[in-house]
Amino acid sequence: PDYVLITQVNVNSTASTQFTSGVANQTSTFIGTVDLGVLATQLANPIEFEEIHPDGPLRNSPFSIQAGSNELWVTFGDYTLTYNPSPVRKWGISHLVEEDWVNISEDSVLGARNLNAISINPFNTSQVFISSFNDGILEVNDNVPEVLYNEDNSGLESLVIPNNPSVKSIRVTGTTFDSEGLLWSCTGRVEHPLKSYNPSTGQWQGYSLDNLVVNPLTDEFGYSDIAIDQNGNKWMGGYKLGLVGVNSTGTIHKNVFSDEQNMPNSFVTALAVDKRNQLWIGTIQGLR
């Protein structure tokens, strides 16, 4: 059959994406995409495009989630199993409040990349801290990113590569609040991997694991999670070190990593303290 050209859509007038499907009626055309949802435009003037999305998070690939009271925060990370941030991700943040999604775009997160762990301040639930596995910790207040904490404005540290000191990478992963309102965080490949931050006073404190980590760049790649028990002990999950326990004075009081110590694997992936003050340890080869 003979076909008649009705209109021609200038692809250069749309954002860069991959097209997956298309359909048209008498007045409009609808184009499916990989990244932008459905693009709609008028056949008579296919210059302006409307993005049509279902009400939901920014992406279909969450990396971390954190639930609060009638809310859920979602980040999209990420980093590799061996704690490598490459390729860096510049994705934003999604926040479900009651039944509505608030999406914070990548342009609004102050340059923070590889966003992962999320901690809601229990004493001020409108304040949220989100780890960046390259750039530090992002503070969000009332859905607005306000501060990106890095080595210039906080106690956080970048890794140091001896033959390339210009490289900056602040690889923060697990975070949690204690009962006194201090935010505790883990940073990979630095001299003081355990940090505390008081949002009320702005004070930072760092703690080393120098009895276990001699060379921060190679002795431990990163820490998956941090949990605090009812006695105030901080438990960190390492890649090589297994489980590391630090007491309230910052002294290492426990290190469990071997099969002889009943650990399935030294690579700890998750930690949780239950209501009986029992610590549960997830490893890459099973639960302890």
In a domain, 114, yes or no: yes
Say whether both 15 and 83 belong to one domain.
no
Q: Quick one: pLDDT band at residue 15, thresholds 50, 70, 90?
A: low
Specify the range with the lowest mean pLDDT, choosing from 8-22, 26-40, 58-72, 203-217.
8-22
pLDDT digits (tens, 9 = 90+) for 176-190: 999 999 999 999 999
- Residue 17 reports pLDDT greater than 90: no
Supply the pTM of this predicted model. Answer: 0.88
Whether the CB-CB separation of 192 and 206 falls below 8 Å is answered with: yes
Residue showing tokens 């303290």: 273
Whether the CB-CB separation of 130 and 112 falls below 8 Å is answered with: yes
Domain count, the chain: 2
pLDDT digits (tens, 9 = 90+) for 49-102: 898 988 999 999 999 999 999 999 999 999 999 999 999 999 999 999 999 999
Measure the CA–CA gap between 257 and 228, rounded to whole angstroms. 19
Whether the CB-CB separation of 196 and 167 falls below 8 Å is answered with: no
In a domain, 172, yes or no: yes
* Structural domain that includes position 147: 64-287
- Residue 13 reports pLDDT greater than 60: no
Q: List, in order, residues 6 or more apart from 116 with CB less than 8 Å away.
A: 63, 64, 75, 77, 78, 79, 130, 131, 132, 133, 172, 173
Say whether both 92 and 164 belong to one domain.
yes
